[in-house]
Every structure is written in structure tokens, then in C-alpha cells.
Structure 1
Amino acid sequence: MTMLKRFKKYIKSQVKANDLPCTYEQINHNPKFQLKYHDNSIGCLNFSDDVWSFIYADWFKDQNDLQPLFEFPSKEKFYKSAELWPFFESRIPSIMQPKVQEYLESHPSGRNNEVKLLELFGVTSVNNPYKLIINL
């Protein structure tokens, strides 16, 4: 079971009827994350109307040094999914991490908000050299 699935299971066990998670609109009106390698934009990740989307940036499409990400093999495709892809999901640390526990204790309404958790904890990853930057 992946860390995020364990996290979701834990969150569901903690949610009370009067402690519903914030909606996407309450947290951020139009979060758009930019995946970067050094100063170059690899692509954009977005969440809107309960759907995740990813598209490669023009710079990435026009270069041949970096290969496409495993989950997004076509540089030209516009990807959509109801679930956050594992490439991005792995950027959210385990609930066992003290910084995540501290956040959840002080922000119970953000418990199962992947957008907010990705924004707070997903900038860097030990799994790859890319940075995930939120564009406000």
C-alpha cells in the first residue's frame, strides 16, 4: 500500500461529520503547479473540477536532452485523471513525518486536500531532481 493510500485511510478514519475538508475553491481558486528542472519549465499540473491535468511546457517539447516522464510518455498529450498520478503523489510525505502531523493538528480542514498538501510539502522530492512550484 502506498504512503498516500495509507494517509488517505488514516484521514478517513479521523474525519468527523462536523469537520469536513475544505473544498478546492476554499483553499485556492486555481492552483497551477509548474514542474521545473533548474530554471526550465517541464510542464504544468492543475486541479480543477475534481480533475487533475498535466501538460508539458513548450520548452520541454522542443528539447531532446530530457526524456518524458514515465507516466506521461507523449510530449503532445493533455493528460487528465481523477486521481493524482504517483509521480506527484510521492511528493507528499508520510503522515508519520512530524511536519505533516504538526500541520494536520493545526489545520484539520486540510486533512484530505491533496492540493494543499502538495503545495506545502511537494516542492522537492528525493525521487527526482525536479521542483514543483505553485503559481498563484
Structure 2
Amino acid sequence: MIKKISNLFNKEEMDFNLPSNDKTVFTLMVDKIQIGKLRCYNGLWEFTYSEEFKNNQHEYKRIAGFPDLDKTYQKETLWPFFLTRIPGLKQPAIKEIIEKENIDSRNEVALLKRFGKHSIANPYELIPG
């Protein structure tokens, strides 16, 4: 029974992709402070801290996996910090939303836009646009 329930939330079997033609920018916020920008383009993910965060860095912790304030991080796959915002797609309620809203369940950007704004794992808000 426990294994059945945990399979609903398991992301190991998810086969996501980042469409190479998708160009989307997400703004990561906390307490009305812009922490940084998550961008996707040309099949890559990119994260950079904002100047606003750099100017307030003594008040906030750096994001796990992004220790350097001045670095532009790039990767072909979504970092775990952001991936945790996408729920397990086997959950019946999530399946229903995906079908009802005609969301491509393999498209990381579409899933992050739909489900990524809030997370129970941290207080940050991820705003597409």
C-alpha cells in the first residue's frame, strides 16, 4: 500500500524534455524581493541571481546548488530546486488537470508554468512571464 502511494509522487520515471524552440523566463521571488531569473532557450535552462538579491544577500540565503552570486548557471536538465515544483504526474488529480487543460506531460516548461508557482518545499514563488 505504501509503495502504491509513493509511486504516485515518484518523479524518477518522468521523461521530461525542454523544447528547443521554447523561450520562457520565470522570476523567482521571496518577500517581494526578486531572487533571480530562470530562463529556458535553445534547449537549455539558465539561472542568474538578480542585482536586487545581491544588494540584499545578507538578509537571505543563497539557493541550494547556486552558490556563486555572479555566475550564470546553465544546464540541459532542470535543477532539483525547481524540479520539486512539478508534482508526481501519476496522481489522479494532477492527471485530470493535465488532461483537462491539454498540457503536454513531457514538457518541463508547460508543467513548471502550470504547477511551479508555489511549493510546499520552500517559501519562494516562481512567476512565469
Please, what TM-score do these two structures have when normalized by structure 2? 0.82
Q: Structure 1's 97 and 24: CA in aligned 2 closer, same or farther, altered over 3 A?
A: farther
Structure (1/2) with the larger helix percentage: 1
Q: Cα deviation per residue 1:89-135 (whole Å; 9 max; x = unaligned)? A: 00000113334201333426x12100000000010001100000011
SS at match of 1:104: helix
Q: Cα deviation per residue 1:68-106 (whole Å; 9 max; x = unaligned)? A: 111100111100000100000000001133342013334
The structure 1 segments of at least 4 consecutive aligned residues displaced by more than 6 Å after TM superposition are none
- Asked if the contact 1:43/1:57 (under 8 Å) is kept, the reply is yes
**Aligned-residue offset at 1:22:** 9.6
In the alignment, the residues of structure 1 paired with residue 18 and residue 44 of structure 2 have an alpha-carbon distance, to the nearest angstrom, of: 16
Aligned residue among 8, 11, 16 for 1:4? 11
SS at match of 1:6: coil
In the alignment, the residues of structure 1 paired with residue 105 and residue 37 of structure 2 have an alpha-carbon distance, to the nearest angstrom, of: 24
Residue pairs, 1:68-79, within 5 angstroms? 68-79=62-73
Unaligned runs of 5+ in 2: 1-6
Look up the match of 1:132.
126
Please, what TM-score do these two structures have when normalized by structure 1? 0.78
Q: Structure 1's 99 and 46: CA in aligned 2 closer, same or farther, altered over 3 A?
A: farther
Look up the match of 2:89.
95
> 2:115 is matched by which residue type in structure 1?
F
Does residue 82 (structure 1) correspond to residue 82 (structure 2)? The answer is no
In the alignment, the residues of structure 2 paired with residue 49 and residue 24 of structure 1 have an alpha-carbon distance, to the nearest angstrom, of: 5
Q: Structure 1's 124 and 22: CA in aligned 2 closer, same or farther, altered over 3 A?
A: closer
Look up the match of 1:49.
42
Unaligned runs of 5+ in 1: 12-20
> 2:77 is matched by which residue type in structure 1?
E
Root-mean-square deviation (CA, aligned residues, Å) is: 2.4
In the alignment, the residues of structure 2 paired with residue 103 and residue 78 of structure 1 have an alpha-carbon distance, to the nearest angstrom, of: 34
